[in-house]
Amino acid sequence: MEDLNVILLFLFVLFLLLGTGVWVGLALIGVAWVGMELFTNRPVGDVMLTTIWSASSSWTLTALPLFIWMGEILYRTRLSEDMFKGLAPWMSGLPGGLVHTNIVGCTVFAAVSGSSAATLTTVGKMSIPELRKRNYPESMVIGTLAGAATLGLMIPPSLTLIVYGVTINESISKLFFAGILPGLVLAGMFMAYVAVMSRLSRKWNPDAEPPLTFGQRIANSRFLLPVICLILVVIGSMYLGYATATEAAAFGVIGGLVLAATQGSLTWKSFTESLMGATRTSAMIALILAGAAFLSLSMGFTGLPRGLAELVASMELTRFELLMVLLVFYIILGMFLDGISSVVLTMAVVEPMIRDAGIDLIWFGIFIVVVVEMAQITPPIGFNLFVLQGMTNHEMGFIAKAAFPMFLIMVLMVFVLIAFPELATWLPDNIRQGPG
């Protein structure tokens, strides 16, 4: 009962602060401050300064702003146009046609971005007009884009996986490799859905694409070479053991600058805009992480995480039952908080439960990312829905309805992960790790 009262107090203060418009990071610090003042005799200011400094000076965290900057640089290039030109000839012959460019394009860009919003905006600004011009069903265009853009959270380099790894002190490289196969499987499930619906839907009547010879398709594929080379540099340097995640991020930034320069889109204005965009996003995430570290310490002093872990253990839930409880919990939480905030806010409580249940923390990182992906397309705070609303001027209800099948596919993906955990664990267990 005492634990319940502490939880209710923490939640009351948190939602009070969030409801009054306080930034998430500052709200977390405020909740931690209240907890420290009420439940400990320690000097709160000294503890807060020490904790925030420790959380902010992690070397592993340096990969975060570098990957964000790489995504910002690529967002300002002609990458989306080139990807559409390179992918369209190969996708047009598949059941579902050019809608697959949404999914494959998001998968490719996710491998050089790490951000769901950047993936959605970059692919969407080119694919939406092209698919509308060809008379593809609007709900399918919007829905697949909303769902596939979430792959930016899973396929490396993933900002959410970096935050998760820093929070629980796990290898970022291992988490990156753990996300590759599940990300590709989820993309395949999205494509399978499009193929089935293209056969079943009465609204599916797109304009036919002009036939292309194999040589013409190969010629158009040259537009994909720059982004493929960048993916090979970033992911390949880690896979072959030549670089850590942070070093690979630095290679990615250099590659992004070279790509922008060769396309003629690297100007002083685009350079400074990309740098300031990356700085703003990095500062926001760093503040959330600092607040979460302080909150984790505060909750540790109250004994709340240990008490909840013991409570869950006393319920004698099976691993599957525990995962189902966490699935529902994170879906509900994701309706009100963004993915990174959900991860850092809950890890102090959830991590002891996961360890006690004997669940692999690398595997759980992928599990939680799939569930956090759902939060990107669930109202009322689904970030991808707001981005799409700004791009298309559709009502929020229409966009949410169009994205709902993608939500169900992600739920199915959770059960696929549970049934086949090797999807997430095989690569991390069988690769040579980079130095450091």
Residue 134 to residue 131: CA distance in whole angstroms: 5
For residues 299 and 165, the model is more confident at: 165
Q: By residue range, what is the domain housing residue 117?
A: 2-429
Mean pLDDT of 405-433: 89
pLDDT digits (tens, 9 = 90+) for 142-194: 999 988 888 877 888 888 888 888 888 888 889 988 999 999 999 999 999 99
Mean pLDDT of 277-302: 78
In a domain, 335, yes or no: yes
- Top mean pLDDT of 45-54, 131-140, 208-217, 418-427 is at 418-427
Look at residue 78 and tell me if it is in a domain: yes
Give residue 31's pLDDT band: very low, low, confident or very high (50, 70, 90). confident
Domain-embedded: residue 434 = no
Q: What is the pLDDT of residue 117?
A: 72
pTM greater than 0.95 (yes/no): no
Banded pLDDT at 304 (limits 50, 70, 90): low
- Give the pLDDT of residue 80: 66
Helices (H), 335-395: 339-357, 361-375, 383-392
Calculate the average pLDDT of the chain: 81
138-148 and 396-419 helices, crossing angle to 10°: 50
- 104 by DSSP, 3-state: which? helix
In a domain? residue 436: no
Confidence of residue 20 (pLDDT cuts 50, 70, 90): confident
CA distance 66 to 79: 19
- pLDDT tens digit string along 381-400? 677 787 788 778 788 888 88
Q: Which helix (H) or strand (E) holds 382?
A: none
Taking only the tens place, the pLDDT of each residue in 45-82 is: 888 888 888 777 777 677 778 888 887 887 777 776 77
How many angstroms separate the CA atoms of 204 and 278, rounded?
A: 40
Count: domains in the chain: 1
In a domain, 435, yes or no: no
- Top pLDDT among 47 and 435 is at 47
